[in-house]
Structure 1
């Protein structure tokens, strides 16, 4: 189904809307915005890191926006009339500024105010990793009656439905990938459209999971605070059993010749350093980042506590012990409620990571179909190189272009290359203050400097800093402290050798902290600028329970 919003934006009366989405020459940029609207790169930029190409954004934007709205409709927050993509960018849940994804905090606040059991500050903390000083909770019970009818039914049926959908996506990917190299243009376009529809479907379920898990985690945090058990929250969120546990184990099995490379790539090849962008490379296309890690994994014996299966078992034990500690503070009447909450939170956290894997399965098939389509357009003289297919929009491709689009692709490629050197802040209001990407520190902060962040995964370790920008080319030695801006599932291979993880962005329910807790790796997230102030080779002490990173030498 072709997008309607791009066409509308090109012909809209400038006076009729504040938000200015895109132009034909530059379909990946919001250039004007109401100065009162708040935006953040938190969480959404973790799902889609880096810079969108024209195809990547137009493939993703409308399905994602509709998925947000359908999710809230299922929960009873939105009416059926709200199941459309708004013309004004200020009324949308997300967009792109200079090609980079950003979420509309005002829209999430609006939803939080209509939802019992959560609030604007809770949404900011759990989804985006920080709470602004200006955030005020102002819940309205206007839609509470409908929510009490629709939300419980949606939530109760979700886990089984989510598991089934994920299994179908895996089977669909397995069936489609071998066919793509023989497809003609029409077949590629049909598959691209099919992948887009499946992406929207899994995103609806994934977003319900993300929203519900945030509410559950917030209630769990409040219970821990009342019990006066600092540090228990991270342990309660450990050992839930995620998709990344299986990736970690299969990496280890591959290194120990218990699994063939083809089988590993069939299971996990949709992951990789570029998985979050449609044009990015994944392990299926280039397994070099995986193969480069195998020597390190071979040194981890099956009975080593660092072996993935042993790590998972230990973290499950940690969670069980933490649950027992929390229930001991509750009376007989409340004990069952505490156990129900901890079990439900664990189940939804596991589903949260499964949902990320699910939309990456859809992305992987779309990526393969687009590359094949690029080859065919080069053969017809429409494009100069097959990679330029990613610099055309979804609608332009669906129109099966016959004109020479090489000049347009050149123009958009130049925009994309320029944007690689730009950065957005973590949060802002109105027009985005774009800046050049800061340079890495040539000298680290002096000994005694302490960085503070979110205490995301407990444990205290000392190690050598390794700042990583690209996980595909990173050289992380056993015991290094992995320091980066943010992570996605393609980074899992680095977690197996890192002694600790420190990220600039994210909160308790971001990808990096979840994986760190599953593998028992101390983690401090949300340091904001740790990856720019720390330097390779520095010695640091990471305290994941306190949320601090101290420079030792």
Structure 2
């Protein structure tokens, strides 16, 4: 027996899965950090699963018969374990094995920052005819389609938010349904971009290695431009009075702490986290090399210089294809970050409609607090709440709070070992101890460790080392102050490393236990070239 999707949506857990099926928190923990609520997972699970399958069908890797949500979580691309999201490694490897130009190992490493020691690639050409017929057109057309969809999402958000406060229950549900459809649409493109960018990054790394310049891909994949660059520019502009708070909110208000969960509170709803950082930006004048615009320019120059070095030793007939691969990889990496911003836009409208619906349910006496709407299933809200849900809500809130204090591993088979956050308290690193991860953004730096759980309530001094489980775009204000970044989760193409490369600070990701073993206040040496983090004081 295996867990059904409906049972998972009810319990927020996959109690019975095949012991051989392998899972990872990987990039799932980055996209959807923290514990899911009943509303959050029931709202997003189906569209997310369909987005994966639509994307693989569009690329020719899947036949039309696979564009459906399976009944069994073991057949899905992702699921929940004790409230925490995880990706099905076997499903991603299954698809990677039919895609030309990549491998299951490459996908596993690039997307999740982890490759199991017994990994064996099993590439097959069975789907190549369909892929050759469909994928090139998709790849060529997706950048412009992606740009158009993102621009439309921005317009849609600004048109929807002002009217939500006056909607009735039916109006809220209509906005939620619209947001859910748009989420699936942007994610179906975004996941394709993620896969293509992974394959392209792998080719860039191969070119660097063939030239005897292993590690150069970190520079070749920097300075690509991203939504986070725009956030940093506008944070600086806001601090210097060049734009208003409302302009900033209109452009970036969909970001904020826990933005990857619908119950999160965005900057649109609370600007306090931004206001607390403005002094840091105000201290950076327009001529300072640390100003966002200068950092971005420096990283673009770094990428250009790295490409010149690579091409100087590349055989003549390979120069043009190599330059093209690097250029296209940069474009797709920028799209990758844009796609994340796109689905966060749909989330921001959905959470506004959900909170308005919560107010309506409080007025009707159905729930006691508007935030309790996030502990009701989306499909139950669509069907109409009957009876008194208070006991169910109270039970789910209690379960939700208990699950906040646990973690699950980076990768495992079957059901994971669940661990309390403080279980590793006795494993603190001492002077000379080293934690290793993925070398994700080049350079070496020494500084004071600041172990951060909540970016909204953290003060960083210039040059501090940001140590955390994972990051999302709402952390960009801390990146601009930090001297380096160390994360538990992620790979070369995860959010934290991409942003670190964009602003030119060292980053080691995928340490798995760094944020639990490194102690706040310790002095660290972060080596973004070797992937080592050493406690030196």
TM over 0.5: yes
Which residue among 426, 438, 444 is the counterpart of 1:454?
438
Give CA deviations for 1:495-541 in whole Å, capped at 9, x if unaligned.
Answer: 01000001111100000000000011111111111111111111111
Give CA deviations for 1:390-415 in whole Å, capped at 9, x if unaligned.
Answer: 01111101012242211111111111
Instruction: Give me the whole-angstrom Cα distance separating, in 1, the residues matched to 2:347 and 2:11.
Output: 20
The corresponding residue for 1:384 is 368
The corresponding residue for 1:350 is 334
The corresponding residue for 1:331 is 315
Quote the offset at 1:442 in angstroms: 8.0
Instruction: Give me the whole-angstrom Cα distance separating, in 1, the residues matched to 2:386 and 2:18.
Output: 39
- Note if 1:203 corresponds to 2:207: no
The corresponding residue for 2:493 is 509
Instruction: Give me the whole-angstrom Cα distance separating, in 2, the residues matched to 1:216 and 1:465.
Output: 34
Give CA deviations for 1:55-102 in whole Å, capped at 9, x if unaligned.
Answer: 100111000000000000000000001111111111100011111100
- Note if 1:300 corresponds to 2:284: yes
The corresponding residue for 1:14 is none
Which residue among 420, 424, 427 is the counterpart of 1:436?
420
Segments of 5+ residues of structure 1 without an aligned counterpart are 1-16
- Note if 1:252 corresponds to 2:229: no
Look up the SS of the partner of 1:483 in the other structure.
strand
Which residue among 411, 422, 429 is the counterpart of 2:395?
411
The answer to which of 324-333 and 509-518 deviates more is 324-333
- Note if 1:492 corresponds to 2:476: yes
The corresponding residue for 2:172 is 188
Instruction: Give me the whole-angstrom Cα distance separating, in 2, the residues matched to 1:415 and 1:451.
Output: 33
The answer to which of 406-415 and 169-178 deviates more is 406-415
Quote the offset at 1:444 in angstroms: 4.8
* 1:471–1:494 Cα contact (<8 Å) kept: yes
* 1:25–1:412 Cα contact (<8 Å) kept: no
Question: After the TM superposition, which residues 512-527 of structure 1 pair with which residues of structure 2 at under 5 Å, given as runs?
Answer: 512-527=496-511
Look up the SS of the partner of 2:273 in the other structure.
helix
- Runs of 4+ in structure 1 deviating by more than 6 angstroms, as ranges, are none
The corresponding residue for 1:11 is none
Quote the offset at 1:230 in angstroms: 2.6
Quote the offset at 1:113 in angstroms: 1.0
* 1:483–1:531 Cα contact (<8 Å) kept: yes
Instruction: Give me the whole-angstrom Cα distance separating, in 2, the residues matched to 1:434 and 1:463.
Output: 32
* 1:22–1:29 Cα contact (<8 Å) kept: no
RMSD: 1.3
Which residue among 132, 152, 159 is the counterpart of 2:116?
132
The corresponding residue for 1:70 is 54
The corresponding residue for 2:66 is 82
Question: After the TM superposition, which residues 139-288 of structure 1 pair with which residues of structure 2 at under 5 Å, given as runs?
Answer: 139-288=123-272
Instruction: Give me the whole-angstrom Cα distance separating, in 1, the residues matched to 2:6 and 2:459.
Output: 39
The corresponding residue for 1:93 is 77
Give CA deviations for 1:355-413 in whole Å, capped at 9, x if unaligned.
Answer: 00000000000000000000001111111111110011111010122422111111111
Look up the SS of the partner of 2:301 in the other structure.
helix
- Note if 1:549 corresponds to 2:510: no
Segments of 5+ residues of structure 2 without an aligned counterpart are none
Aligned length: 537
* 2:440–2:508 Cα contact (<8 Å) kept: yes
Quote the offset at 1:326 in angstroms: 1.0
- Note if 1:528 corresponds to 2:496: no
Quote the offset at 1:459 in angstroms: 1.2
Quote the offset at 1:485 in angstroms: 0.8
Quote the offset at 1:435 in angstroms: 1.7
The corresponding residue for 2:463 is 479
* 2:4–2:71 Cα contact (<8 Å) kept: no
Quote the offset at 1:21 in angstroms: 3.9
Look up the SS of the partner of 1:182 in the other structure.
coil
- Note if 1:401 corresponds to 2:385: yes
Instruction: Give me the whole-angstrom Cα distance separating, in 2, the residues matched to 1:442 and 1:266.
Output: 46
The corresponding residue for 1:7 is none
The corresponding residue for 1:9 is none
- Note if 1:425 corresponds to 2:409: yes
Instruction: Give me the whole-angstrom Cα distance separating, in 2, the residues matched to 1:460 and 1:303.
Output: 25
Instruction: Give me the whole-angstrom Cα distance separating, in 1, the residues matched to 2:429 and 2:69.
Output: 46
The corresponding residue for 2:20 is 36
Question: After the TM superposition, which residues 53-68 of structure 1 pair with which residues of structure 2 at under 5 Å, given as runs?
Answer: 53-68=37-52
Quote the offset at 1:449 in angstroms: 1.4
Instruction: Give me the whole-angstrom Cα distance separating, in 2, the residues matched to 1:482 and 1:236.
Output: 24
Look up the SS of the partner of 1:524 in the other structure.
strand
Give CA deviations for 1:13-54 in whole Å, capped at 9, x if unaligned.
Answer: xxxx52344549934211110101000000011100000000
Q: TM-score, normalised by structure 2?
A: 0.98
Q: TM-score, normalised by structure 1?
A: 0.95
